[in-house]
Amino acid sequence: VADITYKDVKKISDDAGNITEEVTDVAAVVFNNTYKITGEADVIIEGLKIFEKYSLKDNKFTFILSDHRMESLKIAQNDENGRFSFSIHCDPSFVGKTTTYYVTERNENKQGIIYDETIYKIEVTAEDNNRGGIAVSVTVNGEAYDPDKEQIVFKNYFHFEPPEKPK
């Protein structure tokens, strides 16, 4: 901590052009610094659909992003490669909090399909990045989320039972 003295210096000139300085000590200087988080962040959560022994078609299966009460927030459908994703937007109100989400597959009750009933717990933690923005970390079932890994995977199977032949 430095001991600093502030002085107020005024330069005064008279009609003859002579300049004099008037110096007074300043009793206190108050700096009112403010810091506000104005940044926002978007997190993309990606998943993969596998339909054992069958090729996938766009929009064949539906996935749900739910809040901590399992109330649906967003819906996504797979692409032809089985990929789907959700975007989670974090504004300054998220800072200092961990928000829990769940990703599930909707059981459409299509004949012969055995649906994956796995529930993935997603936790999004938003922190101040000390530059006015938001730093976000994400876990999937307690493990740090890595978009290069397949951490959210739903596997479905097809089971067909032929009708009984009449006797």
Residue 1 pLDDT exceeds 60? no
| CA-closest candidate to residue 141, choices 130, 133, 149, 132 | 149
pLDDT range class, residue 46, cuts 50, 70, 90: very high
**What is the bridge-based pairing of β-strands 83-90 and 97-105?**
unpaired
The residue whose two tokens read 């479905």 is 156
Residue 54 pLDDT exceeds 90? no
Torsion of CA 59, 89, 41, 138, to 10 degrees: -70
Per-residue confidence (pLDDT) for residue 103, from 0 to 100: 98
Residues above pLDDT 70, as percent of the chain: 91
Residue 123 pLDDT exceeds 60? yes
Quick one: tokens of 143? 């493990």
Interval 74-88 mean pLDDT: 96
Cα separation, 138 vs 116, whole angstroms: 23
Interval 30-39 mean pLDDT: 85
> Taking a C-beta distance cutoff of 8 angstroms, is the pair 158, 112 a contact?
yes
Quick one: tokens of 115? 């649906």
| CA-closest candidate to residue 38, choices 90, 87, 88 | 90
Give tens-digit pLDDT for 124-150. Answer: 999 999 999 999 999 999 999 998 999
pTM: 0.76
Interval 41-60 mean pLDDT: 90
